[in-house]
Amino acid sequence: MFAAVAIGRLVRFASRLTRHGGSALPGKVVERIDPGFLARTLGRLPYGVVLVSGTNGKTTTTRMVASMLTDLGLKVFTNPTGSNFTRGVVSALLTQVSLGGRLDADIAVLELDEAYAVHFVRQVRPRYALLLNVMRDQLDRFGEIDNTARLLGHVAEATTGTVVLNREDPRIAALAKLAPEGTEVRYFGLADDLKRFFPSDDDMATTVATEERAEAQDAGAAAGAPLSPSVDGQLPSGRGAETAGLSVDGQLPSGKGAEVGAVGSPLGGELSVQPTEGSAEGSGRDDSDAPVLPADVTLAAVGDHEATFLMDGAEHRAKVRLEGVYNLYNAAAALAVTRAVRPDATPDELVRAAGNVTPAFGRGEIIDVNGSPVELLLVKNPMGFRLALASFDASQATTMIAINDEYADGRDMSWLWDVDFTSLREGGVAMVSGVRAWDMALRLEYDQVPVGAVETDLDKAVERFVTEPGPLGRPRHIYCTYTAMLRARAALGRITDVSDAGVGR
Amino acid sequence: MRTIDVVSLYPKDMNIYGDSGNVLTVRRRLELYGYAPRVHMVDQDDPWPEHVDVILGGGGQDAGQRKVIDDLHERADDLRAMAADGVPMLMICGMYQLFGEYFKTIDGDRMEGIGVLGAYTIGKPQRLIGNLVEHSDEFGDIIGYENHSGQTFLREDAEPLGYVKSLDGAGNNGSDDTEGARAHNVIGTYMHGSLLPKNPAVADFLIRRAVERRYGAFDTDEQTPEQRQTLEHLDRVIRSARHVAASRPR
């Protein structure tokens, strides 16, 4: 034990010295020489482990849960650097445990990649699991989206205390069936009129679909048919053909019909999954008589740095430092699991704690360059990219996009075609960079978005983007994939002061 | 303006890995050649539009295939007749499999295809996955990304879309160097990427066949100078994107 920790520390120190970032290597060494390290160390925590997984929002949500639990008086261990692999957790533990192997913490809040979460729960059964969503993300690693849901099913099965599920994601909500006897299931949810911001993954709202839909709606308007209230022109919320036939009911703007329809079969096998809303394929659109699962925390309304959460039938407004409706929904998720851990906390204490959360590294992190704000927005998959684009008025910012295709980003560039970029047409994209800059530029060409420059060298591109004079006071947004974000951040660090997030180059 | 009717087949259930980029590409290039594309989304139970000039189908999960299979068999006679009559079609991944003779999944289920392509597919435990460049005499290098666990085998008289350079575990089945299949003007392939944006030779093949069938000959008489310039610019970006994509690791 003693030796394992000491050797792990040494490897970590050495890998930092050699500037390899040091995220996973020491974990690898310790896993080999002391395979029981993880289970033994985490098994001693009085409040156990909170495991956070899902496709989008893991890092932000984990940070929120950790921050809120700290505010509520717990000593929290977490893996803050996005090293969401089992080895990354072991490496992070190594920095915290005493040489005797004790972790001075009450609870661990851990972000885990879907595939690694399965490995993890074989070693450590979490007391709480927070399962966010399954979306098309790096399908080249996990295969198919239904398979990803199956991976998260193993997490639900292993959870001993409370499983907190996203009520609005049918593949996640369906995992309730897998919670073992004695494990409680809770949900976080969205008010109906916010659902339009969250198209389901089954609505692949591509440019074609959006434009077809717009045409269909024009036709509908001409024929005097009532328009769906969800038409915002920005965030496509339904499929073209489908909306053409069905938008007239104006009832469920987020294309729920398709979503519920998809629940019927995806998990297969021993999982006989029932739709969470409505009982037959396609019937979800009429949700007047469909049973709605009660949510422990519902995101009821959003404003400028402000959110209203519904808990126990009462609305609670919170001032928040986070931007974007998807982050506020993550806050609802974080609140739900935090309540499960601290049932004695009052709603006021909870929303106050939510208000103290700051954006995570590279997830809406704002870096000041010579008095002008540069915001780094991590985009990893079509849904995340669409939500990020929808969260900002593109005409009020100068935009750069950096796309890499390293292993951590996903090699497959197909996902760029599942994002609708037409909202950038008016303002254009000043700079396109990354290894796959030309794929991105081509994508923008097909959406007829003007491109200022293409520079595959990310260091040069970042420097040029942030130092070229732009419209006064207008923020700069850099949308970037994971490794592009690390690189862009390092490049910014050479131009201005960027706080050390504990991640190497 | 001469209209071309483009059918996107099963966009709801068979559209994964950005296959809608193919629809976008055909539509945009038709516009830039001076035609008026009209895109029709055809899902289960939707009628065919009055005209069908070109059909584009995408990939999907096994669950998606099961959802469309009954409808596909109801359309099978129409599709076979259109294929025999020269309607250009592009079928990616899951739809490629269903355009073959059958797909025996790893669980032992057998899904009957519609037999437009002389190919059959067997589900296997390992996925064939990664960046891929294949060569076709007609289209040159075709660049994309494959991701499938079904392995497809061609009948003796069937023609592949292209050949992979003896890469281990790439192409139709990882062993015979073929990728995709062709019959009439129908192309089946595992190439995502999306395929057509970076492979304009394939896109233009589909477009030309569609136009020739409907209007007798392909020409750019109604193309404006701006459209020609835009297309030239687009093709320059495509060349750069192809160059980078072809150099990336598997």
Question: A456 contacts in B (CB within 8 Å)?
Answer: 244
The SS3 assignment for A110 reads: strand
Using the beta-carbon criterion (under 8 Å), do B43 and A209 form an inter-chain contact?
A: no
Q: Considering only the beta carbons, identify the residue of A145, A240, A414 that sits closest to B41.
A: A240
Please tell me the pTM assigned to this model.
0.69
Q: Considering only the beta carbons, identify the residue of A239, A268, A416 that sits closest to B18.
A: A416
pLDDT digit string, tens, across residues B62-96: 888 989 999 999 999 999 999 999 999 999 999 99
Of the two residues B200 and B15, the one the predictor is more confident about is B200
Q: Based on the domain organization, do A110 and A73 belong to the same domain?
A: yes
Q: Which residue of B has its CA nearest to A244?
A: B41
Q: Which residue of B has its CA nearest to A145?
A: B61
Question: B42 contacts in A (CB within 8 Å)?
Answer: 241
**Residue A463 within a domain:** yes
Question: B246 contacts in A (CB within 8 Å)?
Answer: none
Any residues with CB less than 8 A from the CB of A38 and at least 6 apart, and which?
A31, A86, A89, A90, A93, A120, A123, A124
Residue with tokens 């495509």: B238
Query: Residues A96, A80: contact at Cβ < 8 Å?
Result: no
Using the beta-carbon criterion (under 8 Å), do B39 and A208 form an inter-chain contact?
A: yes
Q: What are phi and psi of A304, to 5 degrees?
A: -75, 110
Number of domains in chain B: 1
Catalytic positions of A, written as ranges: 412
Number of domains in chain A: 3
**Residue A286 within a domain:** no
Any residues with CB less than 8 A from the CB of B182 and at least 6 apart, and which?
B117, B158, B159, B160, B161, B188
The residue range of the domain holding A405 is: 363-495
CB-based burial, A330-351: b 16+ in 10 Å, e otherwise: bbbbbbbbbbbbbeebebebbb
Q: Based on the domain organization, do A100 and A245 belong to the same domain?
A: no
**Residue A196 within a domain:** no
Q: Which residues on adjacent β-strands are paired with residue A477? A: A375, A399
Q: Based on the domain organization, do A162 and A61 belong to the same domain?
A: yes
H/E stretch holding A185 = strand A184-190
* Residues of each annotated binding site of B: 127
**Residue A404 within a domain:** yes
**Residue A15 within a domain:** yes
pLDDT digit string, tens, across residues B115-168: 999 999 999 988 899 999 999 999 999 999 999 999 999 999 999 999 997 666
Q: Tell me the HSE value of A176 on the side-chain side, using a 13 A CA sphere.
A: 21
A49-53 sheet: strands from edge to edge: A76-78, A107-111, A49-53, A128-131, A162-166, A184-190, A297-303, A306-311, A314-319
Q: Considering only the beta carbons, identify the residue of B66, B127, B240 that sits closest to A438.
A: B240
- Chain A: give the shortest CA distance to residue B86, in Å: 25
**Residue A278 within a domain:** no
Of the two residues B99 and A494, the one the predictor is more confident about is B99
- The parts of chain A modelled with pLDDT lower than 70 are 1-31, 33, 80-85, 136-143, 199-291, 323, 359-364, 499-505
Is omega for the bond preceding B194 within 30 degrees of 0, making it cis?
Answer: yes
- Chain A: give the shortest CA distance to residue B71, in Å: 16
The SS3 assignment for A163 reads: strand
Cβ of B223 under 8 Å from any chain A Cβ?
A: no
Using the beta-carbon criterion (under 8 Å), do A438 and B237 form an inter-chain contact?
A: yes
Q: Based on the domain organization, do A213 and A181 belong to the same domain?
A: no
Any residues with CB less than 8 A from the CB of A266 and at least 6 apart, and which?
A145, A146, A149, A171, A273, B61, B63
The residue range of the domain holding B146 is: 3-246
Q: What is the interface pTM, i.e. ipTM, of the complex?
A: 0.96
Determine the distance from the C-alpha atom of residue A269 to the mean position of all C-alpha atoms in its chain, rounded to a whole number: 28
Question: A258 contacts in B (CB within 8 Å)?
Answer: 12
Using the beta-carbon criterion (under 8 Å), do A258 and B237 form an inter-chain contact?
A: no
Using the beta-carbon criterion (under 8 Å), do B41 and A268 form an inter-chain contact?
A: no
Per-residue pLDDT, B218: 98
Instruction: Tell me the Cα Rg of chain A.
Output: 23
Residue B204 structure tokens: 């233009």
Q: Which residue of B has its CA nearest to A418?
A: B18
Q: Based on the domain organization, do A460 and A395 belong to the same domain?
A: yes
Cβ of B19 under 8 Å from any chain A Cβ?
A: yes
Question: B15 contacts in A (CB within 8 Å)?
Answer: 204, 206
DSSP state of B243: H
Q: What are phi and psi of B13, to 5 degrees?
A: -105, -20
Cβ of B198 under 8 Å from any chain A Cβ?
A: yes
Query: What's the CATH code of the domain at B30?
Result: 3.40.50.880
Q: Strands A128-131, A297-303: parallel, antiparallel or unpaired by DSSP?
A: unpaired
- Chain B: give the shortest CA distance to residue A473, in Å: 32
pLDDT digit string, tens, across residues A266-304: 222 222 233 333 333 333 333 444 567 899 999 999 887
Query: What's the CATH code of the domain at A402?
Result: 3.90.190.20
Query: What's the CATH code of the domain at A65?
Result: 3.40.1190.10
**Residue A49 within a domain:** yes
